[in-house]
Amino acid sequence: MLHDFQSVSTMSVAGEWKTFPSVDVTDVVRLAGVIRRALSGRLGFGPGAVLIAWSQGLAERYAGEGGVVLNLLVIRILLVIDRDLSVHILRQPPSTSTYLPGALKRQAMAFLAPQALTIAHDQEWIQWRAFNEAVLSPGAPHPDRAVFLPRLRAAFEAPCHSLVDLRQRLTVAMLAVVFAGVPGSLSPLVDAGLANDVQRMADLVGQPLRRFLLGPFQGRRRQRIYRALGEAWRASSSHSPAGCLLARAHSAVPTADLAAADLEALLQQLPHWMFTFGGSASLLLGRTVVLLLAQPVLLAQVRAELNAVCGTNGPFTEDQIGRLKLLEACLQETGRLYPPVALTLHHTMVGDVHAGRRLPADTEILQLLGLLQRPLRPSIEASEFQPQRWLEGAGGCPFSNLFLSGARACPGKDLILFVLKTGLAVLLARPQLALPHAVFNGPQWPLCFPDRLIRFAPVS
């Protein structure tokens, strides 16, 4: 299928579309060099940093080519190095006639929820996208946020000193938002056990080797999850708890008498609403706290905003949360430099042409968000952390994909920003915390965020 980005001027003399270049021996030698730098400690923080550093080299070498083909042993993947191509792919609804979610992503997510929106396409995607939007209210403040606020405040009351603590707090927040549960009030069906089961399966979705080794033994866990979700759904249809996503979901389905197949697909939308709290949201929250504690001047500005908007013991109202613009900008900027969702995969079955280059049919496409939304440098300059770019009138950042752009942009964005701002406001209102390490104190920050260093010590 041909798209409007076609440019006749970039056709070859023979009148055929150009192809994308492939990595060659020079690139493989460079990869060895990047690995050597990583092993000698000069790159820092694992395979993610190696991948980013190497792909930055590719982006420099093949600048202007749009993408470069990685010939891996069993699969060919097009690595997108150009934002224009990225925007082109992202803006189209997932379809067999344009771009599908990537085959590797479909395989991974199908392990937990084969009919999840994030791997759906064509008619199924349109149907479940509308359902997800009706429940999550993207692009607008969530209608239940006033009901959520006191529950969220309570969830963040307990002290937090690590990523594990933040994950626990956000799991409590998730149970409150999705099921209207507060600890002690949840039905035995929808308790922390269900959250734990979903989180463990979701962790395996993101880890191919562990999924390969442990996946075959997760059948019972999967059955337990869907049995509990099914019972929670049925119980809530007769007595729908007010102010939660489950209640919204009941209003969003056109009929109370769902066919069994539709109910199964509906229940498969729920895990995504759950694991994102303990997954990407915890990482974004933890990374933001670390970057704020590492920058005392900015932290003081954020605290001043909190004081001015919420007073000493707030936040008390959803309107106050809405006015915490600098706090939100810090979350956005952290996510631009250190995106918790590190990559996105697409697949074209039919092929495409973009800016005069032909994407062959049956191509898997990789977009590394840490490559596309930062300048090409071997480390991040601390001075690059500029939350001001997100404040009103500053124009934001045209190339941030923290929540993805285009047709499949995250429908939970506004809801989770509300949750995270409330959490941060409560955390930062407490007595001071400090970082027990100096990784972010210098002028240069690592390419990948060292999540094991998300630890905060109370100031003595």
Closest distance to ligand HEM from the beta carbon of 383 (Å)? 24
Closer to ligand HEM by CB, 57 or 101: give it.
101
Q: Packing angle between helix 245-252 and helix 122-136, nearest 10 degrees?
A: 130
Closest distance to ligand HEM from the beta carbon of 294 (Å)? 20
Q: Which two tokens mark 17?
A: 């579309």
Closest distance to ligand HEM from the beta carbon of 119 (Å)? 8
CA dihedral 132, 195, 203, 246 (to 10 degrees): 0
Smallest CA-to-CA distance from 396 within 336, 327, 323, 307 is with 336
Q: Which residue is nearest to ligand HEM (CB)?
A: 412
Closer to ligand HEM by CB, 129 or 153: give it.
129
What angle is formed at CA 362 by the lines to CA 359 and CA 366, rounded to 5 degrees? 70
Closest distance to ligand HEM from the beta carbon of 279 (Å)? 8
Q: Which two tokens mark 1?
A: 């299928």
Closer to ligand HEM by CB, 115 or 320: give it.
115
Binding site for ligand HEM (CB under 6 A): 117-118, 129, 132, 136, 272-273, 276-277, 280-281, 284, 340-341, 344, 402-404, 408, 410-412, 415-416
Report phi then psi at 433, rounded to 5. -110, 160
Closest distance to ligand HEM from the beta carbon of 393 (Å)? 25
Closest distance to ligand HEM from the beta carbon of 77 (Å)? 15
Residues 284, 335: Cα–Cα separation, whole Å: 7
Closest distance to ligand HEM from the beta carbon of 337 (Å)? 13
Residues 304, 299: Cα–Cα separation, whole Å: 9
Q: How far apart are the first and last CA of the chain?
A: 64
Report phi then psi at 191, rounded to 5. -120, -170
Q: Residue type for 341, please?
A: V
* Cβ atoms 373, 83 nearer than 8 A: no
Closer to ligand HEM by CB, 55 or 332: give it.
332
Three-class secondary structure of residue 445 per DSSP? strand
Closer to ligand HEM by CB, 95 or 444: give it.
95
Closer to ligand HEM by CB, 57 or 102: give it.
102
CA torsion sign for 105, 109, 114, 119 is negative
Closer to ligand HEM by CB, 23 or 415: give it.
415
Which residues have CB under 8 Å from 399's CB, separation 6+?
A: 83, 372, 373
Closest distance to ligand HEM from the beta carbon of 15 (Å)? 36
Closer to ligand HEM by CB, 228 or 270: give it.
270
Q: What are the start-end ranges of the E strands in 7-59? A: 18-19
Closest distance to ligand HEM from the beta carbon of 38 (Å)? 26
Closer to ligand HEM by CB, 249 or 415: give it.
415
Residues 428, 292: Cα–Cα separation, whole Å: 10
Smallest CA-to-CA distance from 332 within 288, 398, 377 is with 288
Closer to ligand HEM by CB, 56 or 334: give it.
334
Residues 216, 220: Cα–Cα separation, whole Å: 10
Smallest CA-to-CA distance from 71 within 18, 31, 11, 12 is with 31
Residue written as token pair 């409590």: 172
The DSSP secondary-structure symbol of 279 reads I
Closest distance to ligand HEM from the beta carbon of 291 (Å)? 15
Closest distance to ligand HEM from the beta carbon of 276 (Å)? 4
The helix (run of H) or strand (run of E) holding residue 325 is helix 325-337
Closer to ligand HEM by CB, 38 or 85: give it.
85
